[in-house]
Amino acid sequence: MGSPFRTLAGMRMRPTLSWTPTEDLPPGTTDLEQVTDALSAGGLLVLSGAGISTESGIPDYRGEGGSLSRHTPMTYQDFTAGAQARRRYWARSHLGWRTFGRAHPNAGHRAVAAFGRHGLLSGVITQNVDGLHQAAGSEDVVELHGSLARVVCLSCGASSPRRELARRLEEANAGFDPVAAGINPDGDADLTDEQIGDFRVMPCAVCGGILKPDVVFFGETVPPQRVEHCRTLVREATSLLILGSSLTVMSGLRFVRQAAQDGKPVLIVNRDPTRGDRHALTRVALPLGTALTTVAGRLGIPVDDEAPPPPHLVTP
């Protein structure tokens, strides 16, 4: 088994921060008829991105006011390169975790769960790491980029709940409570080096190795078996609905391209243009909560007004 600290093809990779259209794209619409028709036909596969969680208080990466305008996410290569980078990450992530623990599913998450309960969906793939689809009641969600609710050891591979690590970090860093300038979609809070100070990082409780959140960092690849599972879901679906994703990175765009190549309808609900627009029947430029609850109403599907808090995210 090779070193877990290897880079892709031997090169340091930086995040894809932006995407600029190289062709004229059709404008967005407010017409929800095609989305309603696709859902009513059943067998629809949902692919969601950070935009579906903005109404829960978690910002997206690239939309208006997105976190990439002020923040470069931690890469796998930086995380594994040195202890100072990991101290910076875990201090910021530990503080950000508290915000994630307070986040509740919004109307968009609840609508997706309602569509699933009524048998209209073939599955849900999410690029998000916040667990809010599951908290809203969606089942069998594929977490393409993993989950902040778990941590994994890079040495022995042991997996453990994030809440357990949060407790250890609280005990080791009593009084750590800086005021962050903001929170990012990956759970990373904006802190200065001075605020981070000498924050203590906890090792693996099993072997003493390096702990990493069980998420796919920028510069890291999605596990091949997970990608293949998603490709199977696309093959088995009747149509693909994109919710709140710019599709800037290939991890999500590849499934849009696959669906289009297979002749399956692709529909997008996202306020800004996306890299997948040229493959889509339509892009609805409406807030997700509004759009999805409107569609649910047209289909006669009730959307719960309240959803329980996500207990798997709440820290003790």
Which residue ranges are tagged as binding site? Answer: 49-69, 127-130, 153, 156, 204, 207, 244-246, 288
The string of DSSP codes covering 112-163 is HHHHHHTT-EEEEEE--SS-HHHHHT--SEEETTEEEEEEEETTT--EEEHH
DSSP 8-state symbol, 11: B
Residues 6+ apart with CB under 8 A from 270: 28, 49, 51, 242, 243, 244, 245, 246, 283, 284, 285
Q: Catalytic site residue 94?
A: no
CB of 152 within 8 A of CB of 169? no
Q: Residues forming the annotated binding site for Zn(2+)?
A: 153, 156, 204, 207
N-terminal to C-terminal alpha carbon distance within the chain:
36
Distance CA 197, CA 202 (A): 15
CB of 190 within 8 A of CB of 180? yes
Distance CA 202, CA 205 (A): 8
User: Considering 71, 94, 104, 145, which one is annotated as catalytic?
Assistant: 145
DSSP 8-state symbol, 272: S
Helix (H) or strand (E) holding 90: helix 83-102
Length of the chain: 316
Parallel, antiparallel or unpaired: strands 266-269 and 282-284: parallel
Q: Which residues are catalytic?
A: 145
